[in-house]
Chain A
Amino acid sequence: MRNKNWKQICLFLLPALLLYAVFFIYPLFYVFITSFTQWNGIGSMKFIGFKNFTDLFANETFRISLKNNFIWSFALGFIQIPLATIMALVLARKPKGWKVYRTVFFLPNVISQVALAMMWTAIYNADGGILNSLLAAVGLESLTRNWLGDMGTALGAVIVQQLFYIGYFMVVILASRMGIPESYYEAAEIDGANVWQQEIHISLPNILPILITSVTLAMAYGMRHFESTFLMTNGGPAHATSVLGIMLYQNLGALKYGVGNAIGATLIVLGGVLIMTIRWLLNKKSQKMMG
């Protein structure tokens, strides 16, 4: 049915659509076009076909970065979200002081990422950092190391600190869990279901749509991850923690806009494919669960 007010609707939508086109569609288009060029941002562009892409896939740093992006994505989607879910389910049972815990877990989300990265850099510091001091204090001195400087531990160290910040997703999942009528749980309890069974058979199926959205968002964040790695290791040591965002940033800084935008285009395409695949798989699984 045609809306009588379509002219007014179009008029009101126009500014937003224009802004979307100018600030999103056009830059996206520009990224893809320039990814096929050699361009330093000053002189004229030279069309070089797929050379930027073939060079990138032959580049070891790019392959490490790509792998690290996928590690980040899966770590956030399948470790951080389950942690957030467990905490949300625990807090939904309203244990003593649950509001305090909710605030404590959410607090890092309102603190600057820069401040958090600096704090973790200090914690991991090889020379007097808290982590090494604690390990030494409990007799595990053999485990002390330069956490962010060791090629074997740097990536894990940067990812682990990020996994702790479950607050945002925890609050979202908690809100969804709180929306489930208490009568479901009361009925289950009368039928003899224990807490574990209640969570598995009542909570999880009911919060599943939110869980799928959370996993998708967390994985999307993992694919475009940049900040804490840039601040804590700048992609080092020896590119061990590098991600595509850092490679992109460094290439733009070196005025290699063609290469930088080829990385950006790869990130957009691979990220899109990954997220769509994960959503498709999770939705399929969810439909099966819901019968």
Chain B
Amino acid sequence: MKKLLTVCLIIALAVPALVFAQGSGEAKSQEIVLKWPSFWVGADTKAAPITELVNQFNEAHAGSIKVEIEENPDTDGYRDKLNAQIAAGIVPDIFILNVDPTTLQFFEGDLLMDFTEDLKGDWGNGFLDGTLNAVTVDKQTKAIPYEMAYTPIWYNTAILKAAGVDKIPETMDEFWAMCDAVKAAGYIPTVQMTGGTNAWTSMIWYSHLCAALGGPDVWQKDFATDPVFVQAAELLNRMYQDGNTSKDAIGAGPGDAGGHYLAGEAAAFSNGPWYIARVKNEAPAVYDATEIATAPGINYSGAQTGYLLSALAAANTTDPARRAAVVEFMKWMTTGENAKTVSEAAGSILAVKADITSTDKIQTQFFQEVADASFVVETFSAKFPVDVVAEFGQALAKMAQGKATPEQFVAQIASVM
């Protein structure tokens, strides 16, 4: 009887497994299904236009190709999941690659699809200058440039006006004078933060200061020894002292930092174009008062920080039909017309040449500032691996509390490079 029961139990466990295995086999058809885990979903400003483009693509290729978006709204979680998957040799059919020296390691081996030959024709000419280089390693282009990040300084001109400051500072002397006036008027001069994964707003300020001190080739200099990086640290440190930032800046994360600007408490802030929609929706008065500018000049003026923020990548395949389907989809996503659709709807600036007529006043200023910039340099976060960027926030917190000098700040970061 016991033997019989054991056999029945094994059968009961085994049968469903066999049935499901059979079911998945039957589901196979001629249609190529490409799964795309994406964080451009939910409340993300690109969610609606991207979904619309995917739907249009699916309609145009009904029965032959189908792209399915898998929602992963948490960007940090997305990155962690992707790292783990790729380390296990499991690459999603299509995915968003945040371009930095750490993620470019994914290009090693043959896990990712190589688009080098596909991009040699007209398709490759449609991208902004330098963006293909940003996703090319050892002459192999294994991702398609998609979104640009420009991170200028945002000024709340209503606060400047209340403080009696009639123009956006163009030199550091004017900038410190603005800080004093803003403080006297009861506002926070600059938004800073040491928390989060990369001390985002302070990291952008530091990138601007490095560019203004070291020029277009600043990141070619030796970080550990070149005085430019210590000088930039001295200026950043001053932004943390004497009430030049909020009381919670040391340890603050992106929510706290952005909150000060959205609340109309802070005069100067820094972020990318994706933040436009948030300011517009959550703080219309701040939106109306916002003006975009380059950071104050020092040795160089008119510098802008910008880099390729994200690219689209795909799993390598030996199936020619599947490969063709991926390339077809990538081409669809990066046509000038579709880039224009996404850009105009989301406020983002894409890495594709497109005739964009923005109706948003801040986005228009972004385009103008980028066009007028004397030169564009990458931010610190785009230039260095994630562990070095993480060390930036830790070293900054130490310096801002007077526990490290600017020289020690630079040395601490250089120690993990």
Contacts and interface: CB of A to CB of B under 8 A. Distances in A.
Interface of A: 5, 8, 11, 40-43, 61, 125-127, 146, 148-151, 154, 233-239, 250-257
Contacts of B108: 40, 42-43
A158 to B, nearest CB: 11
B196 interface: yes
30 contacts: A11-B10, A40-B108, A42-B86, A42-B105, A43-B105, A125-B248, A126-B247, A149-B250, A150-B250, A151-B397, A233-B195, A233-B251, A235-B394, A236-B195, A237-B250, A237-B394, A237-B397, A238-B394, A238-B397, A250-B386, A250-B387, A251-B387, A252-B80, A252-B83, A253-B83, A253-B387, A254-B102, A255-B83, A255-B87, A257-B87
B400 to A, nearest CB: 8
Contact of B196 (A40, A234, A237, A257): A234
A167 B248 CA distance: 31
A32 B2 CA distance: 42
B79 A253 contact: yes
B249 interface: yes
Contact of B194 (A125, A236, A253): A236
Contacts of B10: 11
Nearest to B412: A238
B197 A234 contact: yes
Given A42-B86, A238-B397, A146 B195 contact: no
A226 B3 CA distance: 48
Nearest to A42: B108
A146 B80 contact: no
A270 B250 CA distance: 32
Interface of B: 2-3, 6, 10, 79-80, 83, 86-87, 102, 105-106, 108-109, 111, 194-197, 246-253, 256, 385-387, 390, 393-395, 397-398, 401, 403-404
A228 B8 CA distance: 47
A286 B194 CA distance: 48
A125 B252 CA distance: 9
Contacts of A151: 397-398, 401, 403
A150 B401 contact: yes
Contacts of B404: 238
Given A40-B108, A41-B86, A237-B398, 4 more contacts: A42-B87, A234-B197, A238-B398, A252-B83
A126 B387 CA distance: 27
A127 B247 contact: yes
A154 B386 contact: no
A250 B390 contact: yes
